[in-house]
Amino acid sequence: MAQQELIVIETLCSHYEIEVSFVDSLYSLGLIEIHTVEQTRFISEEKVADLEKMIRIHQELEVNPEGIDVIFNLLRKVDDLKSELAVAKNRLRRYELENQ
């Protein structure tokens, strides 16, 4: 069975020098998942990279959690569009080859 590495939220907050309330806001907006085990709250290690990105956007660009939500939604759309474009390019290449 796959094991999931979990990191205590307070440890992360002190490491990145952020308020626990900031993590709570991200959670309430559905931007991160929080696991609770015996009343201790954790974040999955594999999601830390996303959290780091949110912290950078917050600290370096002074964007609040709602703004981060907007940015992440737009980035997801950009990713989807990039994938669609790649598929469309492949399809076009195929039709071009077929009609040569």
Partner 1 sequence: MAFIDYYSVLGIDKSATEADIKKAYRKQARKYHPDVNPDDKNAEQKFTEVNEANEVLSDPEKRKKYDKYGKDWKHADQFEQAGGGAGRQQRGQGNPGAGFGGADYSDFFESMFGGSGGGFRQGGRSTKFKGQDFNAQLELDIHDAYTTHKKVLTVNGENIRLTIAAGIEDGQTIKIKGKGSPGINGGPNGDLYIKFVIKNNTKFTREGNNLYSTVEVDLYTALLGGDIIADTFDGKVKLKVAPETQNGTKVRLKGKGFPVYKKEGEFGDLTLTYSIKNPTNLSEEEKKLFEELQKLR
Measured between alpha carbons, how far is residue 73 from residues 40, 44, 66, 68 in Å?
A: 29, 21, 11, 8
Distance between alpha carbon 75 and the CA centroid of its chain, in Å?
A: 10
**Which sign does the torsion angle of CA 81, 34, 48, 13 carry?**
positive
For residues 21 and 93, which CB has a smaller minimum distance to partner 1 in the complex?
A: 93
Piece of 4-12, 19-27, 31-39, 90-98 that binds partner 1 (CB under 8 A): 90-98
Residues 49 to 78: which contact partner 1 by CB under 8 A?
49, 52-53, 56-57, 59-63, 71, 75, 78
User: Least CB distance from residue 9 to partner 1, whole Å?
Assistant: 17
